[in-house]
Amino acid sequence: MNRDNPNQEINHKSSPYTRLYEIIRQIPHGKVATYGQIARLTGNFTPRMVGYALAALPEGTDIPWQRVINRQGRISPRSHSGYAELQRHILESEGVRFNTDDQTDLSIFGWRPA
DNA sequence: TCCATGACAAGAG
DNA sequence: GCTCTTGCCATGG
């Protein structure tokens, strides 16, 4: 995937992806949001698009991609292995706890925007 | 242009 | 509570 990489659109401030990334940046430290939640906040996105946009992010981006998980409170595995483990590690270092079923309690750690 | 794929979600049965 | 189906739409072959 290397044609019109969405993160290049970050520099073009009128891109719909920009809005998506801006919202993700607003997720506070120690909290998590779901794909569907982000999608609804943008207004014109679908959860699949959110996942797709995040998959296109480069390493070392300032976007807190690790704070976006699925509706079940679990980390969605990507095609490239190893990242789910990394993501969980980062979240735990931020204070997010996972139970024995590898899922977080969204009623506690879920982000609730004003 | 058509088809398959993908870090998902919500409704129906 | 479960599984199955459908909606979503950008991207690549």
Q: Closest Cα to residue A99, out of A80, A64, A72, A77?
A: A72
Q: Which nucleotide is nearest to A63 (CA to C1')?
A: B7
> Can you name the residues that pair with A33 across neighbouring β-strands?
A68
pLDDT per residue, tens digit, chain A (114 aa), is 333 444 444 444 456 788 899 999 999 999 999 999 999 998 889 999 999 999 989 888 999 999 999 999 999 988 888 899 999 999 999 999 999 989 999 999 999 987
pLDDT of residue A106: 94
Rounded distance between C-alpha atoms, residue A45 and residue A47, angstroms:
7
Going by C-beta distance under 8 Å and a sequence separation of 6 or more, which residues neighbour residue A57? A7, A63, A65
Q: Closest Cα to residue A70, out of A96, A50, A43, A92?
A: A50
**For strand C, which nucleotides have at least one atom less than 7 Å from a protein CB?**
7-12
**CB A47 under 7 Å to nucleic chain C:** yes
pTM of the predicted model as reported, rounded to 2 decimal places: 0.87
